[in-house]
Amino acid sequence: MDFSRLQASSKIGDDWVYPQPPCLNFGWLEVDLDPAHRIYWEEYGNPAGEPVMFLHGGPGGACAPAMARFFDPKRYRVILFDQRGCGKSEPNVASAGPAVALAKNTTADLIGDIEKLRDHLAITGAMHVFGGSWGSTLAMAYAIAHPAHCASLILRGIFLGAAEDLDYLYQGNAATWEVDRYALTAPGAYIKYPEEWAALLTVLTPGERGDVMASYKAIFDMVPTTAAETERQLAAAVTWSLWEGVISNMIPETADTGKFGEADFALCFAQIEAHYFANQLFIPAGHFFEHIATLATIPVHIVHGRFDEVCPLTQASRLVAALRAAGSEPAAYVVTNAGHSAMERENALALTAVMDGLAATAT
């Protein structure tokens, strides 16, 4: 029996509003010394347009040219950059190793990098800050630190990074999985993705599944001394990366996992994420809610997939409730019939519509 026609991709495909714009400029900017971090950046769209700072997800996800397609290239000046340790930024976790690439790699460092990139590109006024998933987290942290530099926040797939949010994604029923892998002993993304969950847990021993994130972090922190240890470390990174990559789509594309199954990307993505998650994202608990009054002074636009299993909709709900309690209705709050990925059709079209509808700002 042929069921292939039943599963159509939920990705944007050929339905983008705007064509792929050419890259106008690119370069590396030295942002730190010892180690000498250099971040890679690209510029798209209108050089005299309203500036948009694009913050990619992960942490460790890196940018791609297609991320410039959310924006009207005649109106916006779009800046993409790879955050420390990933993509084309240097040192890179995959090439230089975590001991070097994760040194001086914290949320405060990334906020500082955004400021240095603003200065380098001569952005003097307020800019639109656009971020999804971890990018939404970093966007809010940046806005709290530099509210005057934010004309608006455009946030997709809100990620607050609380312990319960991480447990939903990485812990679930892991502690009891060996006894009954289909028991619904705790909430979690595993409920909708049991095969992918099995792959994530099979890397670990039963004893290691009591704390999945800590156990993976221990594997990533290991300095391999044998071929078997090297193989286990790489397999763990790819498995971690594939778990998030596959479940980011409402309709998983297991036959084409893209960059998430590539060794170099997976090593950066997995090890940087584990580094940040083990350190509570380098953000104090309750930070966004303690500073909600600051966020409430900025127009906040939110797009969130109803079927998002990486960052469940409850995270957007908590943020929206806090903004309303602070007396500020979100400038836009769109719940799409989509999953987590920005490249899902409904998310991509909603984000483009938000950008098209923004009030013009001075350039």
Residues 299 and 275 in one domain: no
Position 83 in a domain: yes
Instruction: Tell me what the mean pLDDT of segment 240-256 comes to.
Output: 86
Q: What is the pLDDT of residue 255?
A: 65
Q: What is the pLDDT of residue 63?
A: 96
Residues 299 and 200 in one domain: no
* Domain final residue pick, 249, 279, 309: 279
What b-and-e string marks burial along 306-332, b requiring 16 or more CB atoms within 10 Å of the CB?
Answer: ebbbbbbbbbbebbbebbeeeebebbb
Amino acid, res. 248: S
Q: How many domains does the chain have?
A: 2
Residues 134 and 32 in one domain: yes
Q: What is the pLDDT of residue 256?
A: 67
Residues 32 and 135 in one domain: yes
- 132 to 59, 104, 140, 157, 223: CA distances (angstroms): 11, 23, 11, 6, 32
Residues 328 and 238 in one domain: no
Amino acid, res. 131: G
Residues 141 and 174 in one domain: no
Position 10 in a domain: no
* Domain final residue pick, 279, 305, 320: 279
Angle between helices 194-202 and 227-247 (to 10 degrees): 160
Instruction: Tell me what the mean pLDDT of segment 186-215 comes to.
Output: 96
Q: What is the pLDDT of residue 254?
A: 67
What is the Cα–Cα distance from 203 to 170, expressed in whole angstroms?
13
Position 17 in a domain: no
Residues 158 and 28 in one domain: yes
- 170 to 174, 206, 306, 347: CA distances (angstroms): 8, 15, 20, 24
Residues 155 and 169 in one domain: no
Position 286 in a domain: yes
* Segment 298-332, tens digit of pLDDT: 999 999 999 999 999 999 999 999 999 999 999 99
What mean pLDDT, rounded, does the chain reach?
A: 95
Domain of residue 114: give its range. Answer: 23-162+282-357
Cis peptide before 91 (omega within 30 of 0): yes
Residue 1 pLDDT class (50, 70, 90 cuts): low
Position 16 in a domain: no
* Domain final residue pick, 264, 279, 294: 279
* Segment 3-36, tens digit of pLDDT: 455 556 789 999 999 999 999 999 999 999 988 9
What is the Cα–Cα distance from 133 to 157, expressed in whole angstroms?
5
Residues 158 and 183 in one domain: no
CATH number of the domain where residue 338 is located: 3.40.50.1820
* Segment 33-87, tens digit of pLDDT: 988 999 999 999 999 999 999 999 999 999 999 999 999 999 999 999 999 999 9
Residues 46 and 126 in one domain: yes
Residues 207 and 229 in one domain: yes
Least confident of 68-72, 88-92, 259-263, 339-343: 259-263
What is the Cα–Cα distance from 250 to 10, expressed in whole angstroms?
7
Tokens of 161: 């990074």
Phi and psi torsions of 159, nearest 5°: -125, 110
* Segment 157-199, tens digit of pLDDT: 999 999 999 999 999 999 999 999 999 999 999 999 999 999 9
* Segment 79-103, tens digit of pLDDT: 999 999 999 999 999 999 899 999 9
Residue 257 pLDDT class (50, 70, 90 cuts): confident
Judged on CB neighbours under 10 Å (0-12, 13-18, 19+), 107 is: buried
Element spanning 247, H or E: helix 227-247
Residues 220 and 263 in one domain: yes
Position 339 in a domain: yes
User: Could you give the residue numbers annotated as active site?
Assistant: 133, 308, 340
